[in-house]
Amino acid sequence: MEKQKVSYYELEGTYREIGRQIAGQEDTGKWYIPAPEYFTREALEEALGLYDMYCPGIREELEGFSEAAGIPVKDIAYTWMTMLVPRCSGLILTGKKTLDGHPKIARNYEFTIEDEDLKLCRTAPAGKYAHIAGTIVEFGRCEGINEKGLAVSMSSCGFPVSNMPGMRAPKIKGLQFWAVIRSLLENCANAQEALEKVMQMPIAYNINLYLADPSGTGILFETMDGEKAYKQISPNEGPQYLCGTNHIIIEQLKHLEPAGMNNSIVRYDRLKKFAEEKERYSEEEIRKFMLAEYPEGMTAHYYKDGFGTIKTVILDPVEKRYSICWLGQEENGWKDYLVDEKKGACVEELLYRNEDGNPEFFAFRPIG
């Protein structure tokens, strides 16, 4: 076992004030990554204009951070990495599939330790919806729940898209997933509003986006190279679950990338089997399944290969609750956070296990 620090903190005020609060953290320098040459003054203004339109407030937050940290806005990692990468699993259950009658989103998030924020944050921007979410590149969000009970999560759809070397180049000009998710949490009251917003957004990242709200509505939204599709469930009729991993799920998009990693297909089949095995599940059963090791569950420990479980999360829209177990280790315990409840900042040192992956795990094969 190895040790790793994780943290929870709280931000509140205007966006500029929140930016200054972020600059007061110990690891501020981590986000100073000089912009590449292609990110010119014109590109900066174009990016900030895009953020103003679809992620209102983030410009002011970046400017507040810049002023307090003494880092030019252009050279904040979020600024130039967000306009256009992780591997994850997602499961949406309506209240008809849970013993407490609450809809749930369950997700595992896999990546490398070195490239992760390892932070959870309660953010309450003035005039916007407060939310609890995991951070990414400090200013972005990768999953969370807001004060209205809108729950949002994601998994990469296909090979991760980025403007960084070694990643898949974006096919369209648009936003990274972490900007999309934060915008939804701060501006949307329910899954339908979130769906309407993402249908209008230019999204460069290829994403499986999971949406759920207290009504029981669940939506899997998928985008690949700028094309979009979605599936929706309701407790009133039809299927009572949706799930996804890291390949295309919706039939009308499969022609764009008809293959997936072997582990993604195995995990997707296992999620479907789990969702269909019983009529209803307790949350404890969902937690145990997500923490079970691949291929029986969703957890893996291949951090050196970019596929180690960073966190396992359950989002409950009715309770407005974010529950997390860090680093794929049941020994680290589960922590519950309510959007309406302030806990105060804390830092913990937790355990994780590092193992070697195998070529078969990462091999590609047809989706079928």
Token reading at 325: 């177990």
Contact present, 94 and 218 (Cβ < 8 Å): yes
Count CB-CB contacts under 10 A for residue 127: 9
Residue 362 has pLDDT above 90, yes or no: no
pLDDT at 158: 82
Helix (H) / strand (E) containing 267: helix 262-277
The 10s digit of each residue's pLDDT in 257-293 is 999 999 999 999 999 999 999 999 999 999 999 999 9
pLDDT at position 82, please?
Answer: 83
pLDDT bin (cut points 50, 70, 90) of residue 28 is confident
Q: In the numeric block, which tokens belong to residue 215?
A: 């009504």
Segment 165-179 mean pLDDT:
82
DSSP track, 194-261: HHHHHHHS-B-S-EEEEEE-TT--EEEEEEETTEEEEEEEBTTBS--EEEE-SS--SGGGGGG--EEE
Residue 314, pLDDT above cutoff 50: yes
What does the pLDDT look like over 331-346, one tens digit per residue?
999 999 999 999 999 9
- Of 78-82, 99-103, 243-247, least confident by mean pLDDT is 78-82
Report the pLDDT value the prediction gives residue 38, as an integer from 0 to 100: 83
The 10s digit of each residue's pLDDT in 196-231 is: 999 999 999 999 999 999 999 999 999 999 999 999
Residue 149: pLDDT band by 50, 70, 90 thresholds? Answer: very high
What pLDDT shows up at residue 141? 98
Residue 251 has pLDDT above 90, yes or no: yes
pLDDT at 81: 86
Euclidean distance between CA atoms 221 and 200, whole angstroms: 13
Confidence band, pLDDT 50/70/90 cuts, at residue 357:
confident
Three-state SS at 61: helix
pLDDT at 276: 97
Least confident segment among 71-75, 85-89, 266-270, 281-285? 85-89
Cα–Cα separations (whole angstroms), residue 145 to 29, 150, 155: 28, 6, 16
What's the pLDDT band for 5 if we cut at 50, 70, 90? very high
**Strands across the sheet containing 151-156:** 227-233, 218-224, 207-212, 151-156, 140-146, 131-136, 119-125, 2-13, 346-352
Q: How confident is the model at residue 83 (pLDDT cuts 50, 70, 90)?
A: low
| Mean pLDDT, rounded, for 127-144 | 97
Question: What pLDDT was estimated at residue 4?
Answer: 95
Q: Quick check: 139 pLDDT over 60? A: yes
Mean per-residue pLDDT over the chain, rounded:
94
Give the span between the Cα atoms of 236 and 228, in whole angstroms: 25
Whether the pLDDT of residue 132 is over 90: the answer is: yes
Q: Is 157 helix (H, G, I), strand (E, B) or coil?
A: coil
Give the pLDDT band of residue 85 (cuts 50, 70, 90).
very low
Q: Mean pLDDT throughout 170-188?
A: 94
